Amino acid sequence: MYKTHFTSEVTPELDGKTVFLAGWIHTIRDLGGKKFILLRDRSGLIQVVVSKDSAAYNSVSELTLESTVQVEGIVKSDKRAPSGVEVHALSIKPFSIAKSPLPLEVSGKVESDIETRLKERVLDLRRVEMTSVLNISSEVIRSFRNTLYSKRFIEVFTPKIIASATEGGAQLFPVIYFGREAFLAQSPQLYKELLAGSVERVFEIAPAWRAEESDTPYHLSEFISMDVEMAFADYHDVMELLEDLVTNMIDVVKTHCGKELAELKHELPNITKPFPKISYSEALEILRGKGFTIKFGDDIGTPEARILAEEVGTPFYFLVEWPSFTRPFYTKSIDSNPDLSESFDLMYKWIEIASGSTRNHNRKVLEENLRRKGLNPENFEFFLRWFDYGMPPHAGFGMGFARLMLFFTGLNNVKEAIPFPRDKKRLTP
Ligand code: AMO
């Protein structure tokens, strides 16, 4: 056992007790014959005092910033210490002495650009800000799972090596599968639908791959997709579910991550349900009123979404009922107006963080939609044949985890929000 406590667990009540701590040398100062070490672990920092007459004193001289050590020491409650408590070292055992100087400063404010930070990522992840981002990420995922479990969803896993495109063909990564062409999944779409056709309510948190050519603050070539699929439900039902998921996450992060939000100097706004809904057609009207030339079927890009976000005035809103031909083949059209679909995007300001729809559960219509998109229904037989055997009406959505984290952390770039981003030019670390 290397440690008896995390540094955050060392409280004044432990005064006089011996503890074993393990972590990294955050800073060292030499003051009047005593050395003061700030020892860091994932939970925070604690001051370790090493006096000249202690056995630990000699081992301190070789310690560099970011070296890993075990400290055995006695807890002393002391109002002058940064956390009201400090540890007087009995012995310090180094595990790994870090090279000096460091390629990236871990303590203090980092002025490095994002390229350097991603290159020196493991040091960057040790910074208090990035540790906060990772802690918040974990709480967001925990909340997502808990809300879904409470609504009788089960967590599933779908194949990531697949035979055909689901979201439109251009962005697939091919792989060679025993001499045959296959692809990395862009989405669990078809498999989550089939699972909902068996067990009604499923979710998956898993990577998805898109060969994204463009380098934007919102695109990764590998991203974590939070997918939900629900039988006997339509797009209104899953939008309501999405509202519950997001507002519960906000409550959880506010309750459990106060320290992390403070480290990031980020405040979460109060969000109320339901989120505003703007139909695609209304959005066109608003944008035309603001001088945009935009016709039915055009995408709503970032400049347009910025205007809409301003108009709505709340961080989250839904853009609903997109033109049918702009959505994937599995999307259901509105019965009374087939040019439009039962679909939505959840927007955080100008960023699309989730998209979903009611799905089509009629085989004939699915085949027609595939043909209309220039795709061969025969290649989708592995999916379509199950629509002959009692597919329920169903709906669902996919949410981009890194984009969602922009809201929870106040960061501006998805590459900062996840530990090891993949993009066109980045395959390591
Ligand atoms: P869509 O293609 O809109 O829908 O993707 C769903 C969500 O995934 C996120 N996302 C990305 N995040 C980072 N980098 C990318 N390159 C990237 N591409 C997408 C976005 C987006 O809203 N099968 C449907 C979902 C469904 O209908 O259930 C789908 O994949 O936040």
| Residue 12: CATH number of its domain | 2.40.50.140
Q: Are 24 and 66 in contact (CB under 8 A)?
A: yes
Structural domain ending residue among the three candidates 51, 76, 96:
96
β-sheet with 154-155: strand ranges across: 154-155, 201-209, 222-231, 394-400, 351-358, 343-348, 316-320, 277-279
Would the CA dihedral through 184, 208, 231, 233 be positive or negative? Answer: negative
Q: Which of 153, 183, 223 to mutate to test the pocket of ligand 1 (most atoms within 8 A of CB)?
A: 223
CA-351 nearest atom, ligand 1: 31
Structural domain ending residue among the three candidates 79, 96, 113:
96
Q: How much distance in Å is there from the Cα of 344 to the middle of ligand 1?
A: 12
Nearest CA owner, ligand 1 atom 15: 219
Residue 264 has a pLDDT of 97
Same domain, 157 and 225: yes
Q: How much distance in Å is there from the Cα of 398 to the middle of ligand 1?
A: 6
Could you tell me the two tokens for 128? 């208090």
Same domain, 302 and 401: yes
Long-range contacts of 72-75 (CB under 8 A, 24+ apart): 72/18, 72/19, 72/20, 73/18, 73/19, 73/21, 73/48, 74/16, 74/17, 74/18, 74/19, 75/10, 75/14, 75/15, 75/16, 75/17, 75/18, 75/19
Phi (first) and psi of residue 242, to 5 degrees: -60, -40
Q: Which of 403, 406, 413 to mutate to test the pocket of ligand 1 (most atoms within 8 A of CB)?
A: 403
CA-397 nearest atom, ligand 1: 28
Helix H or strand E encompassing 38:
strand 34-41
Identify the bridge partners of residue 214 per DSSP, sorted by sequence position: none
CA-227 nearest atom, ligand 1: 28
Same domain, 83 and 144: no
Residues flanking ligand 1, CB < 6 Å: 167, 187, 189, 210, 212, 219-220, 223, 225, 227, 352-357, 396-400, 402-403, 414
The answer to the question of residue 81 being in a domain is yes
Q: Are 208 and 215 in contact (CB under 8 A)?
A: no
CA-414 nearest atom, ligand 1: 13
Helix H or strand E encompassing 308:
helix 302-312
Q: Write down the pTM of the prediction.
A: 0.96
Contacts (Cβ under 8 Å, ≥6 apart) of 247 = 271, 272, 273
The answer to the question of residue 115 being in a domain is no
Same domain, 219 and 159: yes
How many residues does the structure list for the chain? 429
Range of the structural domain that residue 346 is part of: 125-417
Q: Which of 167, 327, 329, 355 to mutate to test the pocket of ligand 1 (most atoms within 8 A of CB)?
A: 355
Q: How much distance in Å is there from the Cα of 114 to the middle of ligand 1?
A: 24
Residue 360 has a pLDDT of 98
Nearest CA owner, ligand 1 atom 12: 400
CA-331 nearest atom, ligand 1: 27
Same domain, 80 and 139: no
Q: b or e along 396-410 (b: 16 or more beta carbons within 10 Å of the residue's beta carbon)?
A: bbbbbbbbbbbbbbe
Nearest CA owner, ligand 1 atom 8: 400
Residue 284 has a pLDDT of 97
Q: Are 108 and 92 in contact (CB under 8 A)?
A: no
Residue 212 has a pLDDT of 85
Residue 170 has a pLDDT of 64
The answer to the question of residue 427 being in a domain is no
**Distance between CA atoms of residues 300 and 284, nearest Å:** 9
Contacts (Cβ under 8 Å, ≥6 apart) of 241 = 151, 228, 230
Work out the burial of residue 429: count CB atoms within 10 Å of its CB; fewer than 13 is exposed, 13-18 middle, 19 or more buried: exposed
The answer to the question of residue 114 being in a domain is no
Same domain, 85 and 193: no
The answer to the question of residue 351 being in a domain is yes
The answer to the question of residue 429 being in a domain is no
Same domain, 51 and 137: no
Same domain, 238 and 289: yes
Q: How much distance in Å is there from the Cα of 333 to the middle of ligand 1?
A: 20
Nearest CA owner, ligand 1 atom 20: 400
Distinct helix (H) and strand (E) counts, the chain: 13, 18
CATH number where 343 lies: 3.30.930.10
The answer to the question of residue 399 being in a domain is yes
Structural domain ending residue among the three candidates 96, 116, 136:
96
Phi (first) and psi of residue 425, to 5 degrees: -105, 5
Residue 59 has a pLDDT of 86
Same domain, 210 and 320: yes
Residues in the chain, pLDDT under 70: 110, 166-170
Contacts (Cβ under 8 Å, ≥6 apart) of 407 = 268, 315, 348, 353
**Distance between CA atoms of residues 255 and 251, nearest Å:** 6
CA-166 nearest atom, ligand 1: 23
How far does the chain reach from its first CA to its final CA, in angstroms? 30
The answer to the question of residue 424 being in a domain is no
User: 3-class SS at 47?
Assistant: strand
Same domain, 163 and 283: yes
Closest-CA residue to 25 (of 12, 38, 36, 10): 38
Same domain, 200 and 71: no
Q: How many domains does the chain have?
A: 2
Same domain, 355 and 407: yes
**Distance between CA atoms of residues 261 and 192, nearest Å:** 34
CA-229 nearest atom, ligand 1: 28
How many Cα neighbours within 13 Å face the side chain of 259?
A: 12
